[in-house]
Amino acid sequence: MQNVESTFMKEAIALSVANVETGKGGPFGTVVVKDGKIIARAVNQVTASNDPTAHAEIIAIREACRVLNTISLQGCEIYTSCEPCPMCLGAIYWARPDKLFYANTKEDAAAIQFNDQFIYTEIAKPVVERTLFTRQLLRDEALEAFKKWEESPLKIMY
């Protein structure tokens, strides 16, 4: 199994290298694998698309879900050239793949100015202590959607 896993990781790494060489985005690549076949490939497109959420993992998850016509990546493996940032890690957990493999560490990324430690630190703080001004508004009005969801026969749980 190690050789197969290495093959998929090499593809994710090759994507990350090519993305830097073409100048289209950051040094990150991801592949999603199901049943021993790559079903989605993606690279970081943050600067190319002016979208701060266009990380390779997010784009690969979206493509894999489109290909599989599902909201779940159960039965899949994700190979990413770098340990996922907090946003991507959250998305990966929501997608529910069976396995996650990464190459570079978050410390390696921090060494080249991709440092997400401040996000980990901020998330752990109480809301009132965060750097980003955050205030709750209109909770009672917003609860209407939650009540309707709870009662809806149309909901699809995820």
- DSSP 8-state symbol, 106: H
Strands 76-82 and 37-43: unpaired
Active-site annotation holder among 5, 57, 77, 151: 57
Helices (H), the chain: 2-22, 46-49, 56-68, 86-95, 106-111, 117-124, 139-151
| Whether residue 83 lies in the annotated active site | no
Nearest CA-CA partner of 12 in 66, 56, 49: 56
Count Cα neighbours of 82 within 13 Å in the Cβ-side half-sphere.
Answer: 26
Token digits of residue 118: 């401040």
Contact (Cβ atoms closer than 8 angstroms) between residue 67 and residue 35: no
Catalytic residues: 57
